[in-house]
Chain A
Amino acid sequence: MSALDSLRETFRRDQVFDFMRQGTRVVAPGQLDAGDGKNILYLEDITVSFDGFKALNDLTLYIKTGELRCIIGPNGAGKSTMMDVITGKTRPDSGTCFFGQTLDLTRLSETDIATAGIGRKFQKPTVFPEHTAFENLELAMHDAKGAWHSLFTRMTGEQKSWIEETLAQVGLLDDRHKVAGLLSHGQKQWLEIGMVLMQKPQLLLVDEPIAGMTRQEVERTGQLLQSLAGKHSVVVVEHDMEFIRSIASTVTVLHQGSVLAEGTMDQVQNDPKVIEVYLGE
């Protein structure tokens, strides 16, 4: 272990000397600490390699609480790998990944990360095809997840209206008793966003939300994502520049596993490095 690594180990973010901070900070172990003005996600010097190929190369990225952040990049830039690292599917070879001030994501299981408040919408919609839209949301609902609990539990009126609210939010209230396998592609994408919302996430990771959607559906998806920001922090990974321009405040460009540029859409589009990567050679 290098001197730098041992220093980092000593000053791990979840073990900072609390007395050195101003004011009192009361955070129970395992609780998310991402209050006012703080970042909700800290990725620092993350490196992931598969058989020598570096999918992520010293990636450093911060997401502010409540912001809507778009991440773009050419194929193989490491967008999906980054999502995998955040959700615990892939472990980084080096680097730190913190959710709020206290939760070390590299040490939590996939299930624990989901419970801690990170929801992910996958690129390919994977709703439960044999369940209705309503049941899909019921399954995703933030609740005790044990087998015995599930056997004896009965849905409260509160839970029912919460599910219906979410159905209305994603525009599926009229189709709530339709089997999810019969929904259109766009509706499945929304249902999936709804399922992520039912987990009461602090941070939403949305992977290519508009792939294969009609223009109208794209518009509604943009509105939906914008309405979610503020209450949640939203990270959107997308190829479509037009779509990103229509929703984003801040854009991060990934290239070869690290951050190439960051800023508003205009700043990013005029950045010579970005132009080179996208149009270059």
Chain B
Amino acid sequence: MRDSTFKGALSDRTAKTFMGVLFGATLLVTLLNQVFPPDSALHVSAYTVTLLGKYLCYALLALALDLVWGYCGILSLGHGAFFALGGYAMGMYLMRQIGDRGVYGNAELPDFMVFLNWSELPWYWQGFDQFWFAALMIFLVPGLLAFVFGWLAFRSRVTGVYLSIITQALTYALMLAFFRNELGFGGNNGLTDFKDLLGFSLQEDSTRVALLMATAISLAGAFVLCRWITGSKLGRVVLAVRDAESRARFIGYRTEHYKLWVFTVSAILAGLAGALYVPQVGIINPGEFSPLNSIELVVWVAVGGRATLYGAVIGAILVNYGKTVFTGIMPEAWLFALGGLFVAVTVFMPQGIVGLVEKHWPSLKQRFLKTPGDNDTPMAEGEQS
């Protein structure tokens, strides 16, 4: 049995392997971007740096979903909502940073408010000029929404497909609300045209690299946090709730408290992912609330493999890499490919890529031993504990 303290989670083999691969890849990309001049063959463009940062944000979001779905059995089809809320909180801070550099040159009001003839900043925009306040809101807003929503849903013992449907309705309702100009979040244009973050210009390569690093560190931190949670007694209770909820309740666990706890932590992680995502892609709009996004997220986790944590990360990166390539070649076919992928994974590899690798690990290992140095799946290797 693993050491169930936080320190134990930090030093276990899987976490070390995970962080090694993650930081190794991030440092390599950083180095290739910063050291080599743009005309060198080894140079990695800022576009690629940002793309990788985006993938890591998705990976963090997938990690958050795996915690509730893989471990607690709550299939949330609305996790995109928490991601988008975290993104909007960051977007509001970035909007306030623009100051008088906007099109209308108004130091106090963002452009879209000037355009709407608003005379003063709405109360809920107050404080977002301070980074610490925005950072607090990044955690607080998704967390609070998840807490209230979860409290109502789990207390009423809404489970299974019904819960999935209402989470979907939640994100859809938020999307419709955020599309409205009167709500004060920029309507369908959302928030964009950001200039700088903490005084660093978002157009600079060095800022982009720093954002990539920050995302990698957040992902690693979230991974260790999730390993700690799932390795603790709480993690075992949560698994028990997934497998036999009424039995767990009978033993004396308030299962709704456990579900609420995990759901809220997961929403906070999703919000953090959204906040890191927005400065890298430069825009947040209500499209992020779209139910389709949340469903895509479920596909990432299913493809990677549920209830392993690193499976979700692998799935998110692979599917999104596939999406980048695919939409470059045949954009209109992507949704069909995604749907086909989901069906194929459900039918042929219910445990996802990680499950497939683990199943065939003994024979793969033999082949690897013959050709040392060939190491395609370093992260799957760690999970033997």
Decide if A and B are genuine partners: yes
| Contact B250–A145 (Cβ < 8 Å) | no
CB contacts (< 8 Å) of B358 on chain A: these are: none
| Chain A 183-207 residues near chain B, CB threshold 8 A | 195, 199
| Contact A138–B243 (Cβ < 8 Å) | no
| Contact A145–B240 (Cβ < 8 Å) | no
Q: A131-B236, A150-B232 are in contact. Are A126 and B261 (CB under 8 A)?
A: no
CB contacts (< 8 Å) of A22 on chain B: these are: none
The answer to the question of A21 belonging to the interface, with a C-beta cut-off of 8 Å to chain B, is no
| Contact A114–B244 (Cβ < 8 Å) | no
The answer to the question of B252 belonging to the interface, with a C-beta cut-off of 8 Å to chain A, is yes
| Contact A128–B229 (Cβ < 8 Å) | no
CB contacts (< 8 Å) of B261 on chain A: these are: 147-148
Q: A130-B243, A151-B233 are in contact. Are A199 and B252 (CB under 8 A)?
A: yes
The answer to the question of A156 belonging to the interface, with a C-beta cut-off of 8 Å to chain B, is no
CB contacts (< 8 Å) of B233 on chain A: these are: 138-139, 150-151, 153, 155
Q: With the chains together, A87 CA to B250 CA distance in Å?
A: 9
Name B251's contact: one of A146, A150, A151, A199 (CB within 8 Å). Answer: A199
Q: With the chains together, A131 CA to B240 CA distance in Å?
A: 8
| Contact B252–A151 (Cβ < 8 Å) | no
Q: A128-B244, A151-B233, A153-B233 are in contact. Are A145 and B252 (CB under 8 A)?
A: yes
| Contact B250–A150 (Cβ < 8 Å) | no
CB contacts (< 8 Å) of A130 on chain B: these are: 239, 243
Rounded to whole Å, the gap between the CB of A175 and the closest CB of chain B is 16
The answer to the question of B258 belonging to the interface, with a C-beta cut-off of 8 Å to chain A, is yes
Q: With the chains together, A153 CA to B235 CA distance in Å?
A: 12
The answer to the question of A129 belonging to the interface, with a C-beta cut-off of 8 Å to chain B, is yes
The answer to the question of B176 belonging to the interface, with a C-beta cut-off of 8 Å to chain A, is no
| Contact A147–B258 (Cβ < 8 Å) | yes
| Contact B243–A128 (Cβ < 8 Å) | yes
The answer to the question of A111 belonging to the interface, with a C-beta cut-off of 8 Å to chain B, is yes
CB contacts (< 8 Å) of A155 on chain B: these are: 4, 233
| Contact A154–B243 (Cβ < 8 Å) | no
The answer to the question of B359 belonging to the interface, with a C-beta cut-off of 8 Å to chain A, is no
| Contact A114–B236 (Cβ < 8 Å) | no
| Chain B 227-250 residues near chain A, CB threshold 8 A | 229, 232-234, 236-237, 239-240, 243-244, 246-250
Q: A110-B250, A147-B257, A154-B5 are in contact. Are A131 and B232 (CB under 8 A)?
A: no
| Contact B232–A128 (Cβ < 8 Å) | no
| Contact A151–B232 (Cβ < 8 Å) | yes
Q: With the chains together, A138 CA to B248 CA distance in Å?
A: 12
CB contacts (< 8 Å) of B244 on chain A: these are: 126-129
CB contacts (< 8 Å) of A145 on chain B: these are: 251-254
CB contacts (< 8 Å) of A129 on chain B: these are: 243-244
| Contact A128–B239 (Cβ < 8 Å) | yes
| Contact B250–A114 (Cβ < 8 Å) | yes
Q: How many A-B residue pairs have CB under 8 A?
A: 73
CB contacts (< 8 Å) of B4 on chain A: these are: 154-155
| Contact A146–B240 (Cβ < 8 Å) | no
| Chain A 107-161 residues near chain B, CB threshold 8 A | 110-111, 114-115, 120, 126-131, 135, 138-140, 145-148, 150-155
CB contacts (< 8 Å) of A153 on chain B: these are: 232-233
Q: A128-B244, A140-B251, A151-B229 are in contact. Are A135 and B234 (CB under 8 A)?
A: no
CB contacts (< 8 Å) of A115 on chain B: these are: 252
Q: With the chains together, A151 CA to B229 CA distance in Å?
A: 7
Rounded to whole Å, the gap between the CB of B88 and the closest CB of chain A is 29
Name B239's contact: one of A87, A131, A146, A151 (CB within 8 Å). Answer: A131
Rounded to whole Å, the gap between the CB of A155 and the closest CB of chain B is 8
Q: With the chains together, A151 CA to B8 CA distance in Å?
A: 13
Proximity string of chain A (72-115) to chain B, C-beta cutoff 8 Å, 1 when within and 0 when not:
00000000000000010000000000000000000000110011
CB contacts (< 8 Å) of B248 on chain A: these are: 128, 139
Across the two chains, which residue of chain B brings its CB closest to A136? B240
Rounded to whole Å, the gap between the CB of A144 and the closest CB of chain B is 10
Q: With the chains together, A127 CA to B251 CA distance in Å?
A: 11
Name B234's contact: one of A110, A111, A126, A147 (CB within 8 Å). Answer: A147
Rounded to whole Å, the gap between the CB of A199 and the closest CB of chain B is 7
| Contact A151–B234 (Cβ < 8 Å) | yes
| Contact A138–B251 (Cβ < 8 Å) | no
Which among B233, B234, B240, B254 has the greatest number of chain A C-beta atoms within 10 A?
A: B233
Rounded to whole Å, the gap between the CB of A244 and the closest CB of chain B is 26
| Contact A114–B251 (Cβ < 8 Å) | yes
Across the two chains, which residue of chain A brings its CB closest to B242? A130
Across the two chains, which residue of chain A brings its CB closest to B261? A147
| Contact A139–B237 (Cβ < 8 Å) | yes
Name A138's contact: one of B236, B250, B253 (CB within 8 Å). Answer: B236
CB contacts (< 8 Å) of A87 on chain B: these are: 250
Rounded to whole Å, the gap between the CB of A250 and the closest CB of chain B is 27
| Contact A195–B251 (Cβ < 8 Å) | yes
Across the two chains, which residue of chain B brings its CB closest to A139? B240
Across the two chains, which residue of chain B brings its CB closest to A196? B251
Proximity string of chain B (122-152) to chain A, C-beta cutoff 8 Å, 1 when within and 0 when not:
0000000000000000000000000000000
Which among B5, B240, B246, B250 has the greatest number of chain A C-beta atoms within 10 A?
A: B250
Given contacts A128-B240, A147-B234, A150-B233, 14 further A-B contacts (CB under 8 A): A111-B249, A111-B252, A126-B244, A126-B246, A127-B244, A129-B244, A130-B243, A131-B240, A147-B254, A147-B258, A147-B261, A151-B232, A155-B4, A199-B252
Can you list 16 contacts pairing A with B, beta carbon distance less than 8 Å? A87-B250, A114-B250, A114-B252, A130-B239, A131-B236, A131-B240, A138-B236, A139-B240, A145-B253, A150-B234, A150-B237, A153-B232, A153-B233, A154-B5, A155-B233, A199-B251
Q: Which 10 A-B pairs have the closest CB atoms?
A: A150-B234, A151-B234, A147-B261, A150-B233, A126-B247, A128-B240, A114-B252, A145-B252, A145-B253, A140-B251
